[in-house]
Amino acid sequence: MSRSRAADRGSDTTSSRLLRAPVLLLIVLTALALTAACGSRLPESAFEGRSPGAGAPAPTGPARGEPVKVGIITSATSPVGAAAFVGPRDGAAAYFHRLNAGGGLNGRPVQVVTCDDGGSGVGNNTCVHRLVDEEKVFALVATTALDYAGAPRVSRAGVPDIGGQPIGPAYDTHPHLYGIYGSQAPRDGRKPGWGGTLYGGTEVYRYFRREHGARTAAVVSYNQASSAAYARLVTRGLEEEGYEVVGEQLDFALPNFPAVAADLRARGADLVFDALDTHGNAQLCEAMDAAGVRVTAKVTNVQNWSAAVARDYAKAPGCRNALWATGASRSYDDTGHPAVREFREGMRGRPGADTLSQWQLEGWAAAMWFTDAARSCGADLTRACVERFLRAEPYTANGLLLPVTFEKLSEPPRTRHSCLSVARWQDSARGGEGGWVSQGEMTENCFTVPQLPYPP
């Protein structure tokens, strides 16, 4: 396919990201605002990153026989909460632990150096300085940062950042950064996306319309800036796919969930999307159950795709069993797949094993991605070699990911053939906690959809 045709159609294999990074960022922002209401938010100055220094580039590869040093930056103790961002770190650490137990990387152990940036830009720059300039890590893996202020410094140092979560626009801005979902943007280090605009598809909405006949969708948000902005984005995508959209807005300080639930029942919504935090979602679900609201799907995203659903929605069994999650990775509960079984076996006895999550699986896949890239270099391990692997072919982590590509299109695609992973929560018939049941093969849940612009 010519590059000009690719710009028109987009990749035939890679999922787009309209409901990915914006969702994650919105949940973070609304959760931060909630903690602000309780008086526990960090001061705004804590989120202002220092001007990144040039940094001293680490050697391009470790000396032969030495451990391969890998860094993991996580906003583990951010204002959002201690458990919000640690999944990718725990999954990646479990993979490297299993790798080392099996002989390491081409006979060398992988030394993992972690850093908690505290969820602030200042802390993130401190972590980048420590790992890149002081620890001289060869690469970063599974970065999950609330404010990735140090991204320009990482890129200037030529340190490959592999399989990070795109909470902000860094992975669509800087070279040497390879997000877990890929990118088609130029990534020239100046502006995110194409001249400061990102694009994403409507495949999630298309899926529920085509596969489940949904026609009416409710979008529930707070009357808070970030929540309302995301709700407008979701509404736009739904309208593009021909839905009748019911907008429901809650007062941020005194949300009336029963009133929203009553209106959802009266309007006969097939789907419910939201721009709420986890606590707000649980309250909405409880109100929906109390009002007898039954929907085809209460749609959530990869960040909430975890075993914590059983606990978080304990008081709303009806709504809990209407929860659907969409993403670009194979469900961690899909135990019929050998790569998923390997992940679950590798998590046994490791941090986070008591509450498995999709983010853990994606962190595991990120570590596998780095390992496969490094193995391709043999004894001559260099960053240039690793990055050639990252850019060469679509990557699937043995089927855990939808194919990840990096294309650097000069113009944004107008349409794209996009696939998505879909799972539905189902309580156990035997009295256990239940789990996520995959809905079709993710490589076959594919649609050619328009790409809509949105600000980062």
Distances in Å between the Cα of 118 and the Cα atoms of 82, 87, 161, 334 are 10, 15, 19, 33
Counted residue by residue, the chain has a size of 456
Q: Give the torsion through C-alpha atoms of 119, 125, 131, 137, to 10 deg.
A: 110
**Backbone φ and ψ of 415, nearest 5°:** -135, 165
DSSP 308: T
d(CA 448, CA 245): 22
Contacts of 370 (CB under 8 A, 6+ apart): 70, 139, 141, 162, 163, 386
pLDDT value for 36: 31
Instruction: Encode pLDDT of 216-269 as tens digits.
Output: 999 999 999 989 999 999 999 999 999 999 999 999 999 999 999 999 999 999
User: What is the value of pTM for the model shown?
Assistant: 0.88
Per-residue pLDDT of the chain (456 residues; tens, 9 = 90+): 333 333 333 444 444 444 443 444 444 433 333 333 333 223 323 323 333 333 444 456 666 678 999 999 999 998 877 788 999 999 999 999 999 999 999 999 999 999 999 999 999 999 999 999 999 999 999 999 999 999 999 999 999 999 999 999 999 999 999 999 999 999 999 999 999 999 999 999 999 999 999 999 999 999 999 899 999 999 999 999 999 999 999 999 999 999 999 999 999 999 999 998 888 999 999 999 999 999 999 998 888 899 999 999 999 999 999 999 999 999 999 999 999 999 999 999 999 999 999 999 999 999 999 999 999 999 999 999 999 999 998 999 999 999 999 999 999 999 999 999 999 999 987 666 899 999 999 999 999 999 999 998
Provide the token pair at 287.
């109100």
Residue 78: predicted pLDDT: 86
Q: Say if CB 306 and CB 425 are below 8 A apart.
A: no
| Distance set, CA 21 to CA 37, 42, 203, 301 (Å) | 25, 23, 15, 10
List 273's β-bridge partners, or say none: 219
CA 63, chain centre distance (Å)? 34
pLDDT (0 to 100) of residue 64 = 66
Q: What pLDDT, on a 0 to 100 scale, did the predictor assign at position 63?
A: 63
Phi, psi of 144 (to 5 degrees): -140, 90
> What end-to-end distance do the CA atoms of the chain give, in Å?
29
